[in-house]
Chains A and B, each alone.
Chain A
Amino acid sequence: AQRVTQPEKLLSVFKGAPVELKCNYSYSGSPELFWYVQYSRQRLQLLLRHISRESIKGFTADLNKGETSFHLKKPFAQEEDSAMYYCALRLEYGNKLVFGAGTILRVKS
């Protein structure tokens, strides 16, 4: 069965510290992975997708098929990064996304 695992419900770091939000997936087909973010009082929105290989707001994520992981990283956390982050897996056929349980990132000053 398809599954996305985010092992940490809450990750608390100090401003300027590196951040790594973990995401592992289980899927026998060819995966497409996304990170979505929900800032306080805002809508859930797409942060980045693995296909684009881009850096958004200083965040990057690399798909590691050997480890079935798609961890989200940022070298220096900022207070405005505090939000709920969801990792999502798109299956090969259709538009359905399977979401992880989410990780709350709290950046302390």
Chain B
Amino acid sequence: DAGVIQSPRHEVTEMGQEVTLRCKPISGHDYLFWYRQTMMRGLELLIYFNNNVPIDDSGMPEDRFSAKMPNASFSTLKIQPSEPRDSAVYFCASSLAGPPYEQYFGPGTRLTVT
């Protein structure tokens, strides 16, 4: 397995544009997580899914952010409209249900909003 796959790896966009980040979890994993990493705040959980159903989206900063998981092998995180303060590295991670609860992370998408 190639592990968690994210695309694109880098995204540069202008303020006001729509941005879509993509994630393919490890096959067979039940949970999928979206995180945002910044120097100021570290690693923040945005939303997570269990069996394609959103469980907790309390970390989503505002209505400009949305996430979907239409099937077990694909998820998207969308920002519309994007703002410069959204610039960060966005990670996707997946895990099995139950012990040992290890999360496997993707390589991340570095987003720059100018």
**Residues on A facing B (Cβ under 8 Å):** 6, 32, 34, 43-46, 49, 51-52, 86, 90, 94-102
Is B48 in the interface zone, CB < 8 Å from A? yes
Between A and B, 28 residue pairs with Cβ closer than 8 Å are: A6-B42, A32-B101, A34-B102, A43-B3, A43-B105, A43-B106, A43-B107, A43-B108, A44-B105, A46-B102, A46-B103, A49-B102, A86-B42, A86-B43, A94-B50, A95-B31, A95-B95, A95-B97, A96-B33, A96-B56, A97-B101, A97-B103, A99-B35, A99-B43, A100-B42, A101-B41, A101-B43, A102-B42
- Is B55 interfacial (CB-CB < 8 Å)? yes
**Which of chain A's residues has its CB closest to B6's CB?**
A43
Number of residues from B at the complex interface, CB < 8 A: 26
**Is there an interface contact between A97 and B42, defined as CB atoms closer than 8 Å?**
no
Measuring CB to CB, which residues of chain B are less than 8 angstroms from any residue of chain A?
Answer: 3, 31, 33, 35, 41-45, 48, 50, 55-56, 91, 93, 95, 97, 100-108
Are A98 and B42 neighbours in the complex by a CB distance under 8 Å? Answer: no
The 7 nearest A-B residue pairs measured at CB: A101-B42, A44-B105, A99-B43, A102-B42, A95-B31, A43-B105, A46-B102
The distance from the CB of B20 to the nearest CB of chain A, in whole angstroms, is: 21
- Are A49 and B100 also in contact (CB < 8 A) when A44-B105, A95-B95, A96-B48 are? yes
How many A-B pairs have beta carbons closer than 8 Å: the answer is 55
Shortest B101–chain A CB gap in Å is 5
Nearest B residue (CB) for A44: B105
Bound Cα distance A34, B3 (Å)? 20
Q: How far is the CA of A45 from the CA of B100 in the complex (A)?
A: 14
Measured CA separation A86–B108 after assembly (Å) = 16
Partner of A99, one of B42, B48, B95, B107: B42
Enumerate chain B residues within 8 angstroms of A6, measured Cβ to Cβ. Answer: 42
Determine which of A43, A90, A98, A101 lies in contact with B101 in the assembled complex, contact meaning CB atoms within 8 Å.
Answer: A90
- The docked-state distance in angstroms from the alpha carbon of A8 to that of B44 is 17
